[in-house]
């Protein structure tokens, strides 16, 4: 009987472990990610950008490794390879590499990512770039190449063609475009798809919009066969962002592509971004209240950037705030020891905050949102921690995944925001609703195991 009691106890302990593990694994299985790849030849080099994209949720907080493989098109032979580890520090979920001294020919680049996204389970995803040609296959004359636009006739020094100003490819700077897309709902169904595109001009002198001018194009096509459903464009638009409503109303999966061709700070600039987007069937739309916050970290151009994404939400409008303190000041920090920033009346499901270089050490913080998410008033929070190394690189703290996050009363979120701005960090940890529920669940399961153990012991004694 003692062996029977021991066996029953082990079964209950195994069931207890499954309860703790199955729920997060089920969440991971619902996330789908892809790698968007773009490549450009410049002389005997090929410049490549690889970016992880989410179909159902915004991709953030990568940890793992990018692998760039240069493939010769005809023979499909790998010519070169480069690895780029990422340690949860790239809020834009991308990496770039330049292949140098490439022999003339046609190539494409395969980018593979293996690791975790949004601090979830392991993923293995990859994508192929467009085909690029190294070497001048047209004239073989001089190194300046043809710099005339369509219909243009100029000489080597002519930089005009048609109505567009054309510059040498190596003088054009490339920028990412961040995209939000969501259906416009009404009582009669979906009336259109609204797209908001933002050119990544962080760090430029004219990041606020002055001096940024160009032509924007938004194209939405079917994911299954690439058929274009609708396209909108605007010429001579000033500013770093552009939004429009496209006539895409049918349920299904789509790909949104946005391009920019113009100038930033007087420099010729091209931008491009893609995003997978879906209009769900009735009953499949996200349920209000399922939203949660997730924060990622990066170190760019001598500044630290923290980016908070609202998962499981298509649209958000409200007030965002992020705050953190150094480990030396974690107990009762003073007002000047609390590092914080806010976004008031912010109209996106993602908020980025830029800080001057932080001193090395461990930091503890909280992200807050108070406002409307998918049309319903809500309050959200996430506790987090991260470590800054001496060289400025940043990674999540060892207990980051154990921190609390969830939904709170909007008035409570507003009060915590006001408290932080007034110099008082809110108490976290066991005060969070999620932590309380998990603690109660563990206690309840522990009591069940104790009762079963006592019953089995009693049967043994009898």
Which residues are paired to 20 by β-bridges?
A: none
By DSSP bridging, strand 267-279 and strand 173-186 are parallel
**The CATH number fitting domain 32-135, selected from 3.10.450.50, 2.60.40.2360, 3.40.190.170, 3.40.630.10:** 2.60.40.2360
Determine the pLDDT at residue 207: 39
Name the CATH topology of 172-285: Immunoglobulin-like (2.60.40)
Class of the CATH-defined domain 292-431: mainly beta
Cβ atoms of residues 317 and 107 within 8 Å:
no
Total-model pTM: 0.37
Distance CA 317, CA 321 (A): 13
Which of 351, 443, 312 lies closest to 91 in space, CA to CA? 351
HSE-up of residue 353 (Cα within 13 Å, Cβ side): 22
Taking alpha carbons only, the member of 434, 413, 433, 416 closest to residue 425 is 416
pLDDT value at position 232?
94
The gap between the terminal CA atoms of the chain, to the nearest Å, is 9
pLDDT at position 57 is 60
- Cα–Cα dist 143/130, whole Å: 23
How many CB atoms within 10 Å of residue 312?
Answer: 17
SS3 state at 118: coil
Domain pair 32-135 / 172-285, same fold: yes
Predicted local confidence at residue 206, as pLDDT = 42
Q: Using one digit for the tens of pLDDT, what is the confidence trace for 173-220? A: 888 888 878 787 666 678 889 888 888 765 444 434 457 889 999 999
User: What residues contact 331, with CB distance under 8 A and at least 6 apart?
Assistant: none
What are the tokens at 257? 């592509």
As a whole number of angstroms, the distance between CA 176 and CA 259 comes to 9
Q: What angle do CA 404, 408, 409 make, to 5 degrees?
A: 165
- The values of phi and psi at residue 424, to 5°, are -130, 115
Q: What are 384's two structure tokens?
A: 């987090």
What is the pLDDT at residue 340? Answer: 92
Q: Which residues contact 332 (CB under 8 A, 6 or more apart)?
A: none
pLDDT given at position 394:
75
Residue 454: which residues within 8 A CB-CB, separation 6 or more? Answer: none
Low-confidence ranges of the chain (pLDDT < 70): 1-32, 55-58, 61, 88-92, 119, 136-170, 185-188, 201-210, 281-290, 300-301, 396-403, 427-444, 446, 452, 456-457, 459-462
CB 199 within 8 Å of CB 208: no
Whether residue 326 contacts residue 374, with contact meaning beta carbons closer than 8 Å, is answered with no
pLDDT for res 339: 92
What pLDDT does 58 receive?
65
Which residue ranges make up each domain of the chain? 2-29+438-461, 32-135, 172-285, 292-431
> CA-to-CA distance for 286 and 282, rounded, in angstroms?
11
Secondary structure of 23-76 in HEC code, one letter for each residue? HHHHHHHCCCEEEEEEEEEECCEEEEEEEEEECCCCCCCCEEEEEEEEEECCCC
Q: State residue 168's pLDDT score.
A: 44
Cα-based torsion angle of the residue sequence 330, 331, 332, 336 in order, rounded to the nearest 10 degrees: -30
């Amino acid at each position: 009987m003692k062996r029977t009691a021991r066996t029953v106890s082990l079964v209950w302990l195994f069931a207890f472990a499954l309860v703790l593990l199955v729920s997060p694994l089920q969440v991971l299985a619902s996330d789908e990610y892809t790698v968007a790849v773009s490549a450009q030849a410049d002389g005997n080099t090929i410049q490549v950008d690889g970016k992880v994209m989410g179909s159902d949720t915004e991709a953030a907080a990568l940890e793992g490794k990018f692998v760039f493989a240069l493939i010769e098109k005809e023979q499909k032979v790998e010519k070169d390879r480069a690895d780029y580890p990422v340690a949860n520090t790239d809020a834009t979920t991308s990496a770039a590499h330049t292949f140098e001294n490439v022999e003339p020919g046609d190539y494409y680049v395969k980018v593979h990512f293996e690791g975790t996204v949004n601090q979830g389970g392991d993923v293995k995803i990859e994508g192929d770039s467009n085909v690029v040609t190294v070497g001048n296959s047209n004239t073989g004359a001089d190194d300046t190449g043809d710099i005339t636009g369509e219909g243009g006739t100029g000489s080597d020094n002519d930089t005009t063609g048609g109505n567009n100003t054309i510059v040498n490819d190596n003088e054009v700077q490339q920028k990412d475009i961040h995209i939000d897309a969501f259906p416009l709902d009404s009582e009669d169904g979906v009336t259109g798809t609204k797209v908001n595109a933002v050119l990544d001009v962080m760090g430029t002198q004219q990041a606020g919009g002055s001096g940024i001018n160009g032509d924007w194009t938004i194209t939405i096509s079917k994911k299954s066969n690439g058929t274009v459903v609708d396209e909108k464009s605007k010429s001579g638009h000033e500013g770093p962002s552009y939004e429009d409503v496209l006539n895409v109303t049918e349920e299904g999966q789509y790909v949104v592509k946005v391009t920019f061709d113009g100038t930033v700070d007087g420099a010729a600039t091209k931008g491009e971004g893609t995003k997978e987007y879906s209009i769900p069937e009735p009953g499949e739309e996200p349920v209000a209240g399922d939203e949660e916050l997730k924060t990622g970290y990066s170190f760019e151009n001598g500044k630290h950037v923290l980016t908070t994404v609202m998962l499981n939400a298509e649209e958000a409008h409200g007030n965002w705030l992020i705050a953190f303190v150094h480990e030396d000041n974690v107990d009762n920090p003073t007002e000047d020891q609390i590092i914080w920033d806010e976004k008031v009346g912010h109209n996106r499901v993602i908020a980025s905050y830029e800080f001057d270089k932080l001193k090395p050490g461990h930091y503890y913080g909280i992200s807050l949102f108070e406002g409307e998410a998918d049309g319903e008033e809500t309050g959200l929070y996430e506790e987090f921690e991260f470590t800054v190394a001496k060289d400025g690189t940043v990674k999540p703290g060892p207990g980051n995944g154990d921190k609390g996050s969830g939904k709170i009363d909007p008035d409570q979120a507003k009060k915590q925001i006001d408290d932080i701005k007034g110099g008082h960090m809110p108490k976290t940890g066991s005060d969070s609703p999620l932590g309380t529920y998990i603690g109660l669940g563990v206690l309840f399961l522990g009591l069940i195991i104790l009762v079963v153990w006592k019953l089995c012991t009693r049967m043994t004694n009898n």
